[in-house]
Amino acid sequence: MCPRTRSRALQDLFLPIEWLDEGKVRFLDQTLLPQEETWVETADYRVVAEAIRRLQLRGAPLIGVSAAYGLALAALESAATDAEALRRDVTEAADVLRATRPTAVNLSWALDRCLRALESASDAAGARETLVRTAREIHEEDVAANQRIGAYGAELLPSGVSVMTHCNAGALATGGYGTALGVVRAAWTGGQLRHVIATETRPLLQGARLTAWELKREAIPFTLIADSAAGSALRRGLAGAVVVGADRIAANGDVANKIGTYGLAVLAKENGVPFYVAAPTSTIDLSLPSGDEIPIEERSADEVTSVRGVNIAPNDIDAANPAFDVTPNAYVSAIITENGVARPPYEESLRRACEAGVPARG
């Protein structure tokens, strides 16, 4: 392994992706977890794009960080000798990266921020440096945002709480530390957390594979359940709060997140359990008045009819595989951002959270 420099902010944290000083990125292939911990090193932004498409890199905030690093790689790879030509090459790469997945708004948010930063560059070398610096800033800011989300979220939880979470909104879904699992980490460190209930999250099993891997790694006590066991667990009072991440949040507080989130939110409300969404403001899309406008990615039917390569259904059948659903704001008790906890009515509280200005938005 080659020497690499981490900024102070990222030291001592598990990071699912890293910028290497020699102009490469190194990331964990999440499709192979928990059985294999395989790291990929690449200088090719197309490898990053493909990794996002294939869910080797996944989770809305991590998709944003990865796309920014992808753009930096594209700039280093470009043979352009002036800023204008470099901008053209980078814009082309941005289009490739932007087309990988439709739902997480952090992807566009990060790409747009990088492209904006490029506007003031006057030569190719300066433009390259700007893109690398901006990508690293986005990464560092994301980790810092998660740590603030964790602290704000932990304040909402009672002592001795059991938290239910869905999918993986952990270090593996972000630049590091995690959003929903950031809240879990902060509550664990603060001694408030008793236990986590992790849903396995079919079809791609991010709960069973990734959340379980993260929690086991840090010895945070947890129980894995099938997705459909969540309802009776909430009814039996086994969780004092549900905390999930988000892929995109509309201006009115409607939340797009992993398929099954809507059901959990309804079941939480029905059983008087608070339902919290933990997400950086980069996930909030103030341009969309409601969740009805959020594009929902439909993924391959194979993900439903097989599990890790093993067929579980008859051949040649029809299967639907929406990757996300939309939870109407009425089921969301609060949205925990790095700029504080937004409460209903969300039109106002989310705008305030975004305007608090960290990170800067266009």
Q: Which two tokens stand for residue 41?
A: 């090193």
Q: Coil, helix or strand for 105?
A: helix
- Establish if 233 lies at the interface with a copy of itself (CB under 8 A): yes
Q: Residues near 98 by Cβ (< 8 Å), separated by ≥ 6?
A: 67, 107, 108, 111
- Establish if 225 lies at the interface with a copy of itself (CB under 8 A): yes
- Establish if 154 lies at the interface with a copy of itself (CB under 8 A): no
Contact residue for a copy of itself among 128, 148, 202, 248 (CB under 8 A): 202
- Active-site residue set: 247
Q: Which two tokens stand for residue 239?
A: 């969780």
Contact residue for a copy of itself among 121, 267, 294, 336 (CB under 8 A): 267
Q: Residues near 70 by Cβ (< 8 Å), separated by ≥ 6?
A: 25, 45, 48, 49, 52, 93, 97
Contact residue for a copy of itself among 109, 262, 275, 276 (CB under 8 A): 262
Question: Cβ distance 295 to 226 under 8 Å?
Answer: no
**CB-facing half-sphere around the CA of 242: CA atoms within 13 A:** 30
For the bound state, the minimum distance from the C-beta of residue 70 to a copy of itself, rounded and expressed in Å, comes to 29
Decide whether 2 or 320 has the Cβ nearer to a copy of itself. 320
Cα 114–120–125 angle (5° rounding)?
80
Stretch that binds a copy of itself, among 24-32, 132-140, 154-162, 226-234 (CB under 8 A): 226-234
Decide whether 285 or 325 has the Cβ nearer to a copy of itself. 325
Cα dihedral 264, 270, 272, 278, rounded to 10, equals: 30
Decide whether 13 or 238 has the Cβ nearer to a copy of itself. 238
Backbone angles phi, psi at 245, to 5 degrees: -90, -165
Stretch that binds a copy of itself, among 47-55, 95-103, 146-154, 204-212 (CB under 8 A): 204-212
Q: Which two tokens stand for residue 139?
A: 């990464």
Stretch that binds a copy of itself, among 66-74, 88-96, 131-139, 299-307 (CB under 8 A): 299-307
Stretch that binds a copy of itself, among 20-28, 96-104, 121-129, 317-325 (CB under 8 A): 317-325
State how far the Cα of 167 lies from the Cα of 180, in Å rounded to an integer. Answer: 10
Please choose, from the candidates 198, 202, 201, the residue with its C-alpha nearest in 3D space to the C-alpha of residue 212. Answer: 198
Q: How many CB atoms lie within 10 A of CB 44?
A: 14
Decide whether 2 or 312 has the Cβ nearer to a copy of itself. 312
- Establish if 326 lies at the interface with a copy of itself (CB under 8 A): yes
Q: Which two tokens stand for residue 278?
A: 């933990």
Residue 306 bridge partners (DSSP): 311
Stretch that binds a copy of itself, among 105-113, 241-249, 274-282, 315-323 (CB under 8 A): 315-323
- Establish if 228 lies at the interface with a copy of itself (CB under 8 A): yes
Contact residue for a copy of itself among 75, 220, 259, 342 (CB under 8 A): 259
- Establish if 329 lies at the interface with a copy of itself (CB under 8 A): no
Question: Cβ distance 220 to 187 under 8 Å?
Answer: no
Site string for a copy of itself, 1-40 (x = CB under 8 A): ---------------------------------xx-----
For the bound state, the minimum distance from the C-beta of residue 232 to a copy of itself, rounded and expressed in Å, comes to 4
Q: How many CB atoms lie within 10 A of CB 271?
A: 16
Q: Which two tokens stand for residue 224?
A: 């894995």
- Establish if 216 lies at the interface with a copy of itself (CB under 8 A): yes
Residues making contact with a copy of itself (CB under 8 A): 34-35, 199-203, 205, 208-209, 212-213, 216, 221-233, 235, 258-260, 262-263, 266-267, 270, 304-305, 307-314, 317-322, 325-326
